[in-house]
Amino acid sequence: MYRAAGTIAAMSPPGSDARWVVPVVLEGQLVRLEPLSLAHLDDLAAVGLGPAIWHFTIARPMDRDGLRAWLSGVLAAAASGGELPFATIDLASGRAVGSTRFMAIAPEHRRLEVGWTWLAPAWQRRGLNREAKLLQLEHAFERLGAIRVEFKTDATNERARAALEGIGARFEGIFRNHMVMPDGRLRHSAWYSVIADEWPDVKVALVGALRR
């Protein structure tokens, strides 16, 4: 049902100099995840500057220049090979309406994190985020050969935690005083994961939920 478009990364053996995770386009019925670039700035600035989007993150872009600075930082991290950021494209409108990424990439352990996910409010609760997670998990487990995909979120972000549990991720615990937020608050982070043994059942449930 879900297929990746474009070049697919093959898993590099431990110790290889080749990157394990390389840019790829992932497309479903509702969303297309494509490598994030400065070309997405206008779309993201039009929908992505509300304070509610960034409340639980360490980023605080309040205007177009702030969002450009955030985007430039994301692209610099991507250039180093440590992250692969995506623009989340709403297929119905063709517009970029959010972002997500692969990060904390550890090829020697066949592990990565899906994080920094945000979606403009008008596109929330419409299945886009759930399908994006399905596409990312499918790519990680079925094409990269990952054995673990992890997620973390602010422990007080009940909506994000419910969404992670809704896709079948398992709660693993709280990292206390994990981050210092821009306002000085000490953030506790809640960790979740899906492992390879769980993926077949998680995928069935996700596909079923999207069909409903």
For domain 3-211, give the CATH superfamily: Gcn5-related N-acetyltransferase (GNAT) (3.40.630.30)
The pLDDT of residue 2 is: 53
Average pLDDT, the chain: 92
* Whole-structure pTM value: 0.91
Q: What is the pLDDT of residues 124-133, one digit of tens each?
A: 999 999 999 9
- Residue 15 sits at φ, ψ, to 5 deg, of 90, -10
Q: What is the pLDDT of residues 147-165, one digit of tens each?
A: 999 999 999 999 999 999 9
Task: Indicate whether 26 pLDDT > 60.
Answer: yes
- Give the mean model confidence (pLDDT) for residues 44-60: 93
The pLDDT of residue 50 is: 86
The pLDDT of residue 19 is: 85
